Amino acid sequence: MSQYRRDRSEYWIPPQKATLPEAATSRPDLETATNVELGIMMQETAGTQRATEFLKKKMVPVDVTMRVLLRPSERRKPRVTARK
């Protein structure tokens, strides 16, 4: 294997274009919040394992990854809205 081969999860694109609302969010870290929401969308389309790998690669803390993927009732309200 080439050391330059990229993981397929780098090329994953959410099923719908997403846009971030301009309103303030309860999540202080915008980058992590965006990655978490992409991970949740990925879980719905590609499965939990791929979503876990994606969030790990994006350095989302393990406790956050476990909470959002395994305990949906404990998720915060989503910030990303689908563009029509």
> pLDDT tens, 11-50?
666 666 555 554 444 566 889 989 999 999 999 999 999 9
Total structural domains within the chain: 1
In a domain, 75, yes or no: no
Residue 22 lies in a domain: no
Contacts for 34 with CB less than 8 Å, ≥ 6 apart = 20, 79, 80
Structural domain harbouring 44: 28-70
Q: Is this model's pTM higher than 0.75 or not?
A: no
For residue 20, what are the contacts with CB-CB under 8 A and spacing of at least 6? 30, 34, 79, 80
84 falls within a domain:
no
The pair of structure tokens assigned to 66 is 């476990």
Which of residues 45 and 1 earns the better pLDDT score? 45
